[in-house]
Amino acid sequence: MLTPSGCARALVAAAFLLIFPSACQSGGNKSPQVQRALREFEGAYPLEARPLGTVRTFDLVAEPTEVPLIDGHRLRVWAYNGQVPGPQLRIRLGETLRVRFTNRLPQETTIHWHGVRLPNAMDGVPHATQPPVQPGETFVYEFTPKDAGTFWFHPHVRSSEQVERGLYGVLIVEDVEPPPYSRDVVWVIDDWLLDETRQIFPRFNTRHDLAHDGRWGNVITVNGRTDEVLRVRPGERIRLRLLNSSNGRVVTPDFSGLQAKLIAVDGLYLSAPIDPSGFELAPGNRVDIDLTFNQLSGAPLRIVDRFHARQSNHLADIVIEGEPLDTPTFGSPARAHVPAWKVGLEVPEHHTFRLNARGGGPLGIEWTIDGLAFAGHAHPHASGLTLKQGQFYRLRYVNESARLHPIHLHGMFFRLLARDGVPVDELFFRDTVLIHGREEVDIALVPTDAGSWMMHCHILEHAEAGMMTMIDVKKE
């Protein structure tokens, strides 16, 4: 039972945070564990956008082009505004983003705003939230993000081809008062499969890629280069935002030996900064790192990926040079609270998703969720699950396959509770979690936004071969 004082407290919180007041009325038939989880969630992040009335307008055009990428030769790509990565869209929390998008590709497309809590109609899922944008057509995306942080955008039609060809960009929503870093730097990590002519290997969704962990390439780039160098001055304190935009490759960037703190995951701040080492940056994931360079110049610092224990991959270098600067001193930004949700594992799971594969379907292999595959469709009308806005849920994933599945939910953040039944205490929310072969993962969430939200594997070949479904969030 919700005590009267608890109810009054919830109503006070409601006034400030637009908490769902109905949680009070129906509190009586919720278990004490669920009531506790909901109380812990209060104030974790804003429930509503607060538009300031400022509209920031950008034009985006998707079209085939040639760019001097990778080692400087002409690479034929598909790009937003002729750039790979696409233009960096930067707004401040409370501002409204308006993107006038034009499709000049030979295929239909959409833009999905990965990680952004926005109105369902702006989510960019073809046939589910909008008709696909046909070649030659224009579509206007307009929304006010509810959260500050590092987000990204990419097509949601034939993603395994369109993202691989170069269509992606970063959306940064700055805090109302951004912390005073010396600089804010973005590293977009991508993995390319080039053929012997050094062009993008033109066959997509190959049997090999479908049967394994998607399309892993032979060239890894940071911001489109194999030789990205970040030049810093002694004393600088940098906010480094990393995105993994690869179709399939997972990277574990190694910052050991540096003064580095992990401050945000998938856009949202942690409740306290932690050591970034070992974070598996799966396709779709973002991390923000707080880096301070106290040492004077020296040998270039090599940042490598250590996802595979036996083979490390070079990502980029950091060179310290020049006149020293005064290091800005301030506490690393953090979220006031992230629910511990230790009670989450005591709440019965609302649903168990079973992830697996089988032969068949248009691509020869189908990746399934609960035995269903939506191959070649980004628009399953059959909803996999219905949830209620403002309610607390534990969901479980059982990976019955031996492959990797970075599972991504649109329109909501979740917390990881356990891997293989062992509680995991992450100090952060996520929108994407890597599930390893044969692994079982428990997550918890409170959906905040009504609508039809996609859930899929972010290994884009797995998604194209069916590993996607919809979660319908109903108003309470």
Binding footprint of ligand C2O on the chain (CB under 6 A): 112, 114, 154, 156, 284, 408, 410, 454, 456, 458
Of Cu ion, ligand C2O, none, which one does residue 459 interact with (CB within 5 to 8 Å by kind)? Cu ion
241, 394, 408, 462: residue in contact with Cu ion (rule CB under 5 A): 462
Decide: 372 and 456 in contact? Cβ < 8 Å: no
CB of residue 250 to Cu ion, shortest distance in Å: 11
Ramachandran angles phi, psi of 463, nearest 5°: -65, -45
Smallest gap from residue 393 Cβ to Cu ion (A): 22
- Cα–Cα dist 233/430, whole Å: 33
Tokens of 86: 């696409």
Closest Cα to residue 137, out of 62, 85, 78?
62
List of residues 6+ apart from 237 with CB closer than 8 A:
181, 182, 290, 291, 292, 293, 327, 328
DSSP state of 347: S
Q: Minimum Å distance from CB 413 to ligand C2O? A: 14
Task: Provide, rounded to whole angstroms, the least separation between the CB of residue 15 and ligand C2O.
Answer: 34
Q: Are strands 440-445 and 415-419 parallel, antiparallel or unpaired?
A: antiparallel
Strands (E), 144-236: 149-154, 169-174, 183-192, 219-222, 229-232
**If binding is defined by CB under 5 A, does position 459 make contact with Cu ion?**
yes
Got the DSSP string for 184-208? EEEEEEEEE-B-TTSSB----S-HH
Rank residues 23 and 171 by Cβ distance to ligand C2O and give the closer one. Answer: 171
Q: Which does 249 bind (CB under 5 to 8 A by kind): ligand C2O, Cu ion, none?
A: none
CA–CA gap between residue 191 and residue 313 (Å, rounded): 11
The nearer residue to ligand C2O, 163 or 232, going by C-beta atoms, is 163
The entry of Cu ion, ligand C2O, none that residue 405 binds, CB within 5 to 8 Å by partner kind: Cu ion
171 or 230, CB closer to ligand C2O? 171
What is the footprint of Cu ion within residues 403-422 (CB under 5 A)?
A: 405
Instruction: Say which entry of Cu ion, ligand C2O, none residue 62 contacts (CB below 5 to 8 A, set by partner kind).
Output: none
How far lies 16's CA from each of 23, 36, 134, 206, 337, in Å? 15, 20, 42, 52, 16
- Give whichever of 266 and 442 is closer to ligand C2O, judged by the CB atom: 266
- The C-alpha atoms of residue 267 and residue 151 are separated, in whole angstroms, by 6
Tell me whether residue 103 or residue 159 sits nearer to ligand C2O (CB atom).
159
Residue 454 interaction partner, one of Cu ion, ligand C2O, none, beta carbon < 5-8 Å per kind = ligand C2O
User: Minimum distance from CB of 461 to ligand C2O (Å)?
Assistant: 14
Helix (H) or strand (E) holding 384: strand 383-388
Binding Cu ion (rule: CB under 5 A), the pick from 34, 434, 457, 470 is 457
Partner that binds at residue 261, options ligand C2O, Cu ion, none, CB closer than 5 to 8 Å by kind: none
CB 282 within 8 A of CB 244: yes
Work out whether 460 is an interface residue with Cu ion (CB under 5 A). no
Q: How far is the CB of 457 from Cu ion (least distance, A)?
A: 3
| Interaction between residue 215 and Cu ion (CB under 5 A) | no
Q: Which is nearer to ligand C2O, 76 or 379 (CB)?
A: 379
The arrangement of strands across the sheet holding 393-399 comes to 365-369, 351-359, 393-399, 440-445, 415-419, 422-423
With CB under 5 A as the rule, give the number of residues binding Cu ion: 4
Residue nearest to ligand C2O (CB): 114
60 versus 457: smaller Cβ distance to Cu ion: 457
Which residues would be at the binding site for Cu ion (CB under 5 A)?
Answer: 405, 457, 459, 462
